[in-house]
Structure 1
Amino acid sequence: MELFQNFLQQTITLFAIMDPIGVSAIALSLLSPNITKSQIATIAKKSTTTILIAFFVVLITGDLILKLFGIHEDSLKVMGGIILLLMAITMVRGIGSEKRSKNENNKNDEELAIIPIGIPIAFGTGLFTTIIIFKNQLSTSVEIFSLIVSFCINALLFYLVLKNSIYIKKYLGVTGQNIITKLMGLIVGALSVQFIISGIVNLTKSYL
C-alpha cells in the first residue's frame, strides 16, 4: 500500500513538474505555424527519447554527483525546493514562453526537438533535482523500479500530448492551456515548500 502511495505521489509530482500541456504550448510557439502532423510526431518522438535518456543518466549518476561534490541530500532538497518554487511562480504567472519563442524561431523545427524542447524545457533543473531527491529516498530495487515506471508513464503522456499538441491547442485554446499550467504550478509550489522545510529541518538536526 505504501509502495503504491509513493508511486502515485511520484507520478503526479513528475507530471506536474514536466507539465506536458504547458510544454506543448511552448513547443508550438517555437515551431513553424505550418508544421505537419508527421513532422510534429517526429519531434515528439525525438523529444521523448531525449528525456528518457536524460532520466536514466540522472538516475544512474545522481549519487555519484552528490558524492563527487560532497553535497548533502538535504542541501539538495533545499536548493531543489528553491528551484521548483521559482519554476512554480513562473508557471503561475504564465511567463517565459515568449522569450523562448523569440530566441529560437530561427532554427529548423526538428533541430528544436532535443534542445530546447527536450532539454531544458521538458527536462530542466527542477526535474533533475527532483529525480535525485526521489532516488535518495528509495532503498530497495522494487522502489527504484517503481520510480522508473512512474517516469516512463509520464514520458508516454508527454509523447502523446506533444504529438497531438495541435489538436489540444484547438480544443483547449491558449486560455485553457494557461489554466492547466497555473494549476500544475500550484502543485509544484506546494511540493517545493515541502522539500525546503524537510531539508532545513534535517540539516538543522544534523548540525545541532
Structure 2
Amino acid sequence: MLWHEFQPFVESVVTLFAIINPIYALPILGSLTTDASPSEQRMMFRLAAIVACITMIVIGVIGEFLLLNVFHIGLGSLMVACGVLLAFVCIKNLVMDNPEPPHQSIEKIQPDQRHRQLVSRAVSPMACPVLVGPGSIVTAILIVNRNGFWMGLAAMATAAILVVIVMHWGHVITRLLGRIGSIIVSRVLMIFLAAIGMEFIYRGLIKWWPMLECTTKN
C-alpha cells in the first residue's frame, strides 16, 4: 500500500531526472568550459544546474495555466507532442553523438567581462537548452497536471536537488565513470525515457479518443 502511494512521486522524479540527464550532459558542458579555471568550471556547472531547475519548476507550475488560458492548447495535444518529442530526442541521442556547441574563447578578456561572459554561457546554452529543453519543460507541466500541484512541485524539487548534486560533483563523476561509463548510463536512461514518451503518446490519444482505452483493455 505504501509503495502505491509513493509510486507516482518516484516515477515523476525518475522521469524528470532521466530527461534532464545531467550525466549525459556533463561531457557537452565540459566542452563549454575548456577555457575556464577549475573553480570557474565548478561555478558554471552549479549556476547552470540552478538556473535550469528554476526554469523547469516555474514553467511546470504556471505552464498549464498558460496552455489552457493563453494558448488554448488541450492536455491531450500536449501529451502527444511531449511523447513524440521525447521519442525523437531519445532516438537521436541513441544513434547519434551530440555535437559540441561552439563557444568563443575568453582567455584574453578583462576579468569583469570574463566573469559576465562565463555567467552568460552558464545560463545559455549550458542551462537552456543543454540541461533543460522543450522536452523537460513539457514533461514538468504534465507531471503537475497528473499528480496535482503539491506532489508535482515536490517531484520537481527533488529532481532539481539530484541534478544540482550531480552537477556539483560533475568533475568527480566524469572521472569515476569515464567516457564509456557515462555513455552506458546515459543510453540506459534514454531507453527508459523512450518508453515514457510512448506512454505519453498513448495517454494523449486516450484523451482524444476515450474508446481506445476500452479497446486496449479488451
Kindly report which structure 2 residues correspond to 1:193-208, keeping only aligned pairs within 5 A, or say none.
193-205=198-210
2: distance between equivalents of 1:132 and 1:154? 14
Q: Which residue of 2 aligns with 1:136?
A: 145
Do residues 64 (structure 1) and 73 (structure 2) align?
A: no
Do residues 171 (structure 1) and 176 (structure 2) align?
A: yes
1: distance between equivalents of 2:19 and 2:62? 21
- Matching residue's letter, 2:52: I
- Matching residue's letter, 2:135: G
Q: Closer, same or farther in 2 for the Cα pair 1:138/1:160, shift >3 Å? A: closer
1:152 shift after superposition: 2.0
Q: Which residue of 2 aligns with 1:184?
A: 189
2: distance between equivalents of 1:25 and 1:88? 17
2: distance between equivalents of 1:171 and 1:110? 27
Q: If you compute each CA radius of gyration, which structure gives the higher value, 1 or 2?
A: 2
1:205 shift after superposition: 2.9
1:112 shift after superposition: 1.8
Residues 140 and 156 of structure 2 are in contact (CA less than 8 Å); yes or no, is this contact kept in structure 1? no
Q: Which runs of 5+ in 2 are unaligned?
A: 107-116, 212-218
Kindly report which structure 2 residues correspond to 1:30-41, keeping only aligned pairs within 5 A, or say none.
30-32=32-34, 35-36=37-38, 38-41=39-42
1: distance between equivalents of 2:28 and 2:64? 32
The 3-state SS of whatever aligns with 2:73 is coil
TM-score (norm 1): 0.86
Q: Cα RMSD between the aligned structures? A: 2.0
Q: Which residue of 2 aligns with 1:117?
A: 126
1: distance between equivalents of 2:167 and 2:43? 10
1:34 shift after superposition: 5.7
1:32 shift after superposition: 1.2
Q: Closer, same or farther in 2 for the Cα pair 1:149/1:136, shift >3 Å? A: closer
Q: Which residue of 1 aligns with 2:83?
A: 81
Q: Which residue of 2 aligns with 1:13?
A: 15
Q: Which residue of 1 aligns with 2:110?
A: none
Residues 91 and 181 of structure 1 are in contact (CA less than 8 Å); yes or no, is this contact kept in structure 2? no
Residues 11 and 151 of structure 1 are in contact (CA less than 8 Å); yes or no, is this contact kept in structure 2? yes
Q: Which runs of 5+ in 1 are unaligned?
A: none
The structure 1 segments of at least 4 consecutive aligned residues displaced by more than 3 Å after TM superposition are 105-110
1: distance between equivalents of 2:168 and 2:72? 41
